[in-house]
Structure formats: structure tokens, C-alpha cells
Amino acid sequence: MARALYIHWPFCLAKCPYCDFNSHVRESVDHAQWEGALLADMACEAEAAGGEPLTSVFFGGGTPSLMPPSLVSRLLESAERLWGFAPEIEITLEGNPSSVEAANYAGLAAAGVNRVSLGLQALDDETLLFLGRLHDAAEGLAALEVAQRQFERVSFDLIYARPGHTLDQWQAELSRALAFGTGHLSLYQLTIELGTRFATMVRQKEFEPLDDDASAEMFALTREMTSALGLPAYEVSNHARPGEESRHNLTYWRYQDYCGIGPGAHGRRGGIATVRHRKPENWLKSVAASGNGIAETHDLSGKEQAFEAMLMGLRLAEGVDIGSMAMRFGLPGQALCDPDKLAFYEQQGLAWCRGERIGVTEQGMPLLDALLGELVPAELVAA
């Protein structure tokens, strides 16, 4: 059984116009105050969710590569003392590929980080400027090189299906990206999220998002090219050499327990959902007042858990085991997946079923949201 710990570092140097993550820009950050508060939030979580040793730790954000390595080191020491570390623990940190942060990589590796996920996002200056990134292409690639020297495992993100993006351009960009030889790639289509600067720009007709057909073609090409080079998609947007998958993210997608600390972090432990205060200052106040940053905990019914597990699991190429999930949540198999609809979509080539295991095919993945609405019965959705 996996047990994962997520630590949220909510600060960035600037807000990217497409980003709807819980990230904030502040003139200064009191590292000593944040260290004390994160350690307290962690200790409180470990008391409620002790037990098995951790199989993964993930520093997400925000921009955790801006954290002082000494802070990362103290958080890891504390996590190990509180839970213990499983052998081969995966310790990932999300980072930006700027020269300032690259200078931090050696210290972060020495602190125990063994996997890094870099927000490269594009390989040319014009696109990086459009995406509001602070690094240029040369700086990003130099940082990637440093990361490949410093960390055992490296992944990076690219954003495709941008306004005006062509299939040929993406093919060339992805070929270059694959040649860097990392074992993992996260390849996301640009989506316009509510409340972002890009959403305002689209509303004001400053640019038009790429149309669905062109995006779908790029999605198919992405799967073809990564697969041909031995990094098939194991999730909608994530591609890895076998064995190089993000074990931490697999914990979410396989609906296993995880603890989440820091502003806005979510957790799932033994059928209980936890949510931390989202705004950094509110989270700090809560930790000062009650020793933890929890805004809300609530019990999830078997149906609610089954619904979440289906939503997560069907993102994976491996799909979900309906039999074991039905047993886990005390529900009949047909409550999780409509057998008639499954048979229909199997015939259409959009879903598959092998014994108790079901999933969405390559052709079905671009239509995942619509398929989830069809395959997962309405009673479960309404739970």
C-alpha cells in the first residue's frame, strides 16, 4: 500500500497568465516562520495519519525550487522521523528552469530530492514570452542540463496546442524534447482556466484558443511519437519509460491514501477528505491558532469514494479493477460502471474490458470527460 506526502510551497516570482494553481507572489517570505508552520502542520498530519512508511514525498507549488535547500532538508528529516521512509522512496520537487533556481539544484539533491519536475513549458523564446515565463529557451535548457547531472530522475513539462500552433511545429518541438533523453515527460494542452489572465485575454479577443480538431490531432501525434520512442502515455498527459512513472502521482490516480500539508493542500486518509486553508496568510494563522492548517475535513461515503476513484483511475492507461474497487467501497460492480454503456463504447473502440479491469482506449482518451459521464452511473455522480 502506498502512502504519499504532498507539501505545498505557494510562492512564485510572478504569476503566469495561464495558471490557476494556488500560487502567490509576495515581496518577501519569512523562511523561519514557514519552516515552523510546515513542521507543525506535518506533525499534526502524522498524528492523524501515521502508520505505513512513506513511499513518496512531493514538493509542489508554487515554485518549490525557490525553497532554501536547508528548509527542504529539515522537512524531509521530520517526515522520515514521523513516518519512516520506505526503501526506494521517491522524493520529487517541482521547479522552474531559471539560472537562479538551477544554482539551488545541487543543494536540493544533497537534501534528499531524487526526482525533479521542471516547468520548461516551451523551447523557443517567443512562446515562453507569450506564456509569461521568466526564463528564456537557452536558460531553460541550461537548467535542464544541470538538473540531469544533479538528480537521479528528471521530468519536464511542455504546453502544446497553443494559439496558432501547427502540427509541424509541435512535431519538431516534441522531437527535440524527446532527444534530451529524460525518462518522463508531462505534455499538456493549453487550457484556458477561469479567473486567469488568459481567460480575460480570450474574452477581450486578444487571442483565440486553438480549435478542438487541431488540438486532437496534436494529442494523437504526441501519443504516437512518445510511444515510438519508448515513453508511452501512462496517463492522459504523462509519458514515461517503463519504471519511470511518477510513483507519487500514481498514488492519486490509483486512489490510495495521501497526506497533504501547506496552503490549499488536499489529502485523503481512510475515507476522510482533508483540505487546508488556501491563502498563505490564512493557513499561517490557522497553524498559529490550532497547530494545523486544516480548513475542513469530512467523511466520504462509499459512493463518493468510488466516484473519485473512477474519475482518477480511468485517466490511466492501466484502467481500474472494478471487482476490487467494488469490494473496497462495498458496492456492486454495476454501481461503478454501467455494463451496457461499457459494451457499447467497447464496440465503438473507445473503451476496453479485460476480465474485471476496464479502461479507456487510445482513441477514447481525447473524449475522456464525455466518456466518464457515460460510463460512470448517474447515482454515483450525484452521491
Residues that bind ligand SF4 (CB under 6 A): 12, 15-16, 19, 21, 23, 61-63, 96, 119
- When the beta carbons of 112 and 119 are compared against ligand SF4, the nearer one is 119
- When the beta carbons of 16 and 335 are compared against ligand SF4, the nearer one is 16
Peptide bond into 119 cis (omega under 30): no
- When the beta carbons of 21 and 344 are compared against ligand SF4, the nearer one is 21
- When the beta carbons of 19 and 72 are compared against ligand SF4, the nearer one is 19
Q: What is the largest CA-CA distance in the chain?
A: 59
- When the beta carbons of 24 and 153 are compared against ligand SF4, the nearer one is 24
Q: Shortest distance, CB of residue 164 to ligand SF4, whole angstroms?
A: 21
Q: Shortest distance, CB of residue 198 to ligand SF4, whole angstroms?
A: 11
Sheet of 266-269, strand order:
238-240, 184-189, 153-160, 115-121, 85-95, 54-61, 4-9, 258-261, 266-269, 272-276, 294-299
- When the beta carbons of 14 and 370 are compared against ligand SF4, the nearer one is 14
- When the beta carbons of 249 and 292 are compared against ligand SF4, the nearer one is 249
- When the beta carbons of 9 and 329 are compared against ligand SF4, the nearer one is 9
- When the beta carbons of 132 and 339 are compared against ligand SF4, the nearer one is 132
Q: Shortest distance, CB of residue 12 to ligand SF4, whole angstroms?
A: 3
Q: Shortest distance, CB of residue 18 to ligand SF4, whole angstroms?
A: 7
Question: What would you report as the CA-atom Rg of the chain, rounded to the nearest whole angstrom?
Answer: 21
Q: Shortest distance, CB of residue 59 to ligand SF4, whole angstroms?
A: 12
Q: Shortest distance, CB of residue 292 to ligand SF4, whole angstroms?
A: 24
Question: Whose CA is closest to 349, among 373, 369, 365?
Answer: 365
Cell of 66: 525557490
Q: Shortest distance, CB of residue 115 to ligand SF4, whole angstroms?
A: 17
Q: Shortest distance, CB of residue 21 to ligand SF4, whole angstroms?
A: 4
Q: How far apart are CA 164 and CA 207, in angstroms?
A: 9
Q: Shortest distance, CB of residue 101 to ligand SF4, whole angstroms?
A: 10
